[in-house]
Amino acid sequence: GSSSAQASASATAAATASGVQECSSLTIDKDSDALPTVNGEAGNQPTLTWSGKDAPANLTVKTLSQGNGEEVKEADYVTVSYAGWQWGSDTVFDSSYQRGSVTTFGLDQVITGWRCGLVGLHVGDRVVMSIPADQAYGDSSSNGVSGPLVFVVEIAGTGSSDELAAGTADATMEGEQALADRGITVSGDLGGAATISVNDGAAEPTEVETIVVARGSGPQITAESSLLMHMAFTSWDNSSTQSTWDVGQPQTVSMANAPGLTGLVGVPVGSRVAILIPASAGENGAASAPAQAYVVDVEQEL
């Protein structure tokens, strides 16, 4: 959805402006007396008490509480809760806590301070990071966030892109006939990228339709689940398509904020599902949209 896209855009402005720095060339400190004090409990939006000092010259990653989960490796996907401040500011510029859902992104899609600072941490760790401007958005940034930054980050999950995409590898096919009857073609091996297309003459949906293509064996999805999923979609005339597999960026979806996905409730995690969405007239100021068909791989529950 757009909220997770915005979240990842703001958390992941590309680190290409200054050329990609090699993590091995950076000095990463474990503490600094300049770091702010972090107030508040894990799992909630923290507040900071600033030291009054200038930001550390080096990338600094201080562990506030230690987890014992899997280690974060280079180019992994991480699922995190986080909040970010410009150095010395009491105003949060970005916060997953305020959005109410964790965020997932690839370490090769984020600022250098994140890309290098999170490697070697573990699932369950809570850290405060001070990131120099040249490892963040620079000293003058078009999105208004510049200078040294501070983030509080809680690591909820990690894995390689292959590990994530393999979430559906053990699912059992069951929807071939239902798809054929409906005029929908879903292609792609389970555990890998899927595509979806609409056959000529297939009737447009008048309500949201959900077809389980392959059933996983994970826990059942609830109306409160937060899920990591890959998806591909096509407009009903196949003129417009998009895929998270193509960009290597799975989406974090909070079921509470995804009314079009209510058909997933009760379906097991690890399933591949086709979802047909009717055209919308564009109520409440929203743009009108043609009918669409999605294929969704529910890779894991967060």
Mean pLDDT of the chain: 88
Are both 7 and 149 inside the same structural domain?
yes
Q: Show the domain range for 256.
A: 164-301
Q: What is the pTM of this model?
A: 0.65
C-beta neighbour count of 138 within 10 angstroms: 16
Are both 138 and 258 inside the same structural domain?
no
Contacts of 294 (CB under 8 A, 6+ apart): 196, 231, 232, 233, 274, 275, 276, 277
Looking at residue 205, which CATH number applies to its domain?
3.10.50.40
Give pLDDT tens digits for 275-302.
Answer: 999 998 666 666 678 899 999 999 888 7
Q: Largest alpha-carbon pair distance within the chain?
A: 68
Percent of the chain with pLDDT over 70: 90
d(CA 227, CA 302): 6
Count how many domains the chain has.
2
Are both 133 and 215 inside the same structural domain?
no
Are both 13 and 150 inside the same structural domain?
yes
Are both 179 and 293 inside the same structural domain?
yes
Q: Is the distance from CB of 72 to CB of 158 less than 8 angstroms? A: yes
Helices (H), 84-216: 96-99, 112-117, 161-165, 176-182
Are both 21 and 139 inside the same structural domain?
yes
Q: What is the mean pLDDT of residues 51-55?
A: 96
Among 123, 142, 159, where does a domain finish?
A: 159
Helices (H), the chain: 2-11, 96-99, 112-117, 161-165, 176-182, 244-247
Are both 98 and 45 inside the same structural domain?
yes
Q: Which token pair is 80?
A: 């995190």
Are both 185 and 118 inside the same structural domain?
no
Q: Is the distance from CB of 12 to CB of 94 less than 8 angstroms? A: no
Are both 202 and 276 inside the same structural domain?
yes
| 36, burial (CB in 10 Å: exposed 0-12, middle 13-18, buried 19+) | buried
Are both 133 and 48 inside the same structural domain?
yes
Contacts of 181 (CB under 8 A, 6+ apart): none
Among 159, 186, 201, where does a domain finish?
A: 159
d(CA 261, CA 54): 47
Are both 153 and 172 inside the same structural domain?
no
Which residues sit opposite 94 in a β-bridge? 84
Are both 117 and 154 inside the same structural domain?
yes
Q: Where are the beta strands (DSSP E) in 43-139?
A: 47-49, 59-65, 77-86, 92-95, 103-106, 126-131
pLDDT at res. 290: 87
Q: What is the mean pLDDT of residues 157-172?
A: 82
Among 116, 139, 159, where does a domain finish?
A: 159
Residue that has been written with the tokens 């389970």 in this structure: 190
* pLDDT over 50 (residue 9): no
